Amino acid sequence: MTKAPGRRIVSSRHLAEGEGWESSEFEFGLIVAYNAFSRWMVKCMSAAGQGEMSPLEILVLHNVNHRSREKRLTDVCFLLNIEDTHTVNYALRKLLKAGLVTSEKRGKEVFYSTSDTGAALCESYRDVREQCLLEGLSRMDISGDELREIGSSLRALSGQYDQASRAASSL
């Protein structure tokens, strides 16, 4: 199904006027996708056995678990492209308190790893993800290669938004 020519699906009409209005339609898609993805992460984690986690805490837990390597706060922030280190630090403290990650101080640096409980929770999340999300994706008319291409485009576009935020900071 294609949309009618000239019909613009945007969240803010005033941002969709003039040249480049398509970026507003893209941004609305990002907003809707971000909120759906956040809701999905919370519901998936709850089904995996750990309710009451925020989307950021879930992202941080999975990042710390990634490749079973220790991570510093700066490593997590860099990979997730988060400038506000205090929000990630708060998430790490909550994960520590819940027993999902461990920490080790070496000099001035603190290194985080998933605990056995945290790693098991990540595996449970993976199982729920396979059952509830991946099975549905396999029935859609989109290939794995197309998903990879979309992911690559989103990462490239994030660089444009980063550059624009730096430009806006200098105004």
4 lies in some domain: no
169 lies in some domain: no
159 lies in some domain: no
The continuous run of DSSP H or E covering 112 comes out as: strand 109-114
Question: Which residue in the block uniquely carries the two structure tokens 């199904």?
Answer: 1
Q: Give the span between the Cα atoms of 46 and 54, in whole angstroms.
A: 11
Q: Give the span between the Cα atoms of 18 and 96, in whole angstroms.
A: 49
**pTM (global) more than 0.85:** yes
pLDDT of residue 77: 98
Q: Is 72 left (phi over 0), alpha (psi -120 to 50) or beta?
A: beta
pLDDT of residue 22: 86
19 lies in some domain: no
3-class state of residue 42 by DSSP:
helix
63 lies in some domain: yes
92 lies in some domain: yes
Which domain does 60 fall in, by range? 25-151
Per residue in 132-163, pLDDT (tens digit) is: 999 888 889 899 999 999 999 999 999 999 99
Q: Which residue has the higher pLDDT, 77 or 18?
A: 77
- Number of domains making up the chain: 1
Domain of residue 74, CATH code: 1.10.10.10
Asked if residue 5 has pLDDT above 70, the reply is no
pLDDT of residue 123: 98
100 lies in some domain: yes
80 lies in some domain: yes
